[in-house]
């Protein structure tokens, strides 16, 4: 899949947000859109086009990130790359086939590495910032959550390694670890588990976007290496 060069204005820094059409990704794209030209990634052309139209300065990137032929947009510079696209999946290890492990790891880890690899020249040119939206599951794993947690542990390891590799090039790398967030994905997860959904116990997507803004706006001589964000209330 080929990606064209987006029409990027010269008077705004450039941010690319994967998974930008819903949930956390949409909140991040909307917040960054106040100050940045946003390259909006999603799989649905209609959803991407609608969000691009809502932002002050934006361009589309429609792609399936796990496609073997995926090609990131051609950019001369990239100030911010936010990896927000992700999937949940898996059950107990005894009940999870290899195909499900591969599906989750492909989206949550391999696609992150490949898109970052392709965009590193533009990030280095801008001395940019990479932000991976991880999870509390990137620190701890429980019964039934091994597949998702394994992908998030791996994503944290990827970010840690990338951070050290890119220090000489001036590229900052941060992991943001939200607790459970009030999104469509969270509704689906709670419904699948047969639980009661109480929105007041979850983070708002805007809170995660605010955490990303903190990471991005920090003076460049400092890096937020890892940031954990949790709801104030507990059930």
Any domain includes 162: yes
Rg (CA), the chain: 17
- What is the sign of the dihedral through the CA atoms of 90, 184, 141 and 19? positive
Query: Taking Cα atoms as reference points, which of 37, 39, 42, 83 lies closest to residue 62?
Result: 42
- Our count of domains for the chain comes to 1
Any domain includes 6: no
The number of C-alpha atoms within 13 Å of 82 and in the hemisphere containing its C-beta is 33
Q: What is the model's pTM?
A: 0.92
pLDDT along the chain (235 residues), means of 10: 67 96 96 98 98 98 96 97 95 96 97 98 98 95 93 98 98 95 63 62 90 97 96 77
CATH number of the domain at 204, please.
3.40.50.720
- The 10s digit of each residue's pLDDT in 184-220 is 666 555 555 566 656 667 799 999 999 999 999 999 9
Is residue 197 flagged as an active site residue?
Answer: no
Any domain includes 167: yes
Query: Distance from first CA to last CA of the chain, Å, rounded?
Result: 45
Contact 217, 227 (CB under 8 A): no
Any domain includes 4: no
Domain that holds residue 220: 14-229
Which residues fall within 8 angstroms of residue 102, CB to CB, at 6 or more apart?
A: none
Any domain includes 79: yes
Any domain includes 7: no
Any domain includes 40: yes
Any domain includes 23: yes
Catalytic, out of 148, 159, 173, 207: 148
């Amino acid at each position: 899949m080929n990606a064209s060069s987006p029409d990027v204005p010269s008077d705004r820094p450039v941010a690319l947000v994967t998974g930008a059409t819903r949930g956390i990704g949409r909140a991040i794209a909307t917040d960054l859109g106040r100050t940045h030209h946003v390259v909006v990634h999603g799989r649905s052309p209609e959803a991407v086009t609608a969000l691009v139209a809502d932002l002050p300065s934006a361009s589309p990137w429609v792609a399936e990130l796990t496609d073997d032929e995926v090609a990131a947009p051609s950019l001369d510079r990239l100030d911010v790359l936010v990896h927000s696209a992700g999937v949940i999946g898996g059950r107990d290890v005894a009940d999870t086939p290899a195909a499900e492990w591969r599906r989750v790891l492909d989206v949550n880890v391999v696609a992150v590495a490949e898109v970052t690899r392709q965009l590193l020249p533009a990030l280095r040119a801008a001395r940019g910032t990479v932000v991976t939206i991880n999870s509390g599951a990137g620190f701890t794993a429980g019964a039934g959550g091994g597949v998702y947690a394994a992908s998030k542990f791996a994503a944290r390891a990827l970010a840690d390694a990338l951070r050290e590799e890119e220090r000489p090039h001036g590229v900052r790398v941060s992991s943001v670890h939200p607790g459970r967030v009030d999104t469509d994905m969270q509704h689906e997860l709670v419904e699948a588990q047969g639980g009661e959904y109480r929105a007041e116990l979850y983070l708002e997507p805007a809170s995660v976007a605010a955490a990303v803004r903190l990471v991005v706006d920090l003076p460049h001589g400092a890096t937020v290496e890892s940031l954990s964000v949790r709801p104030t209330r507990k059930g």
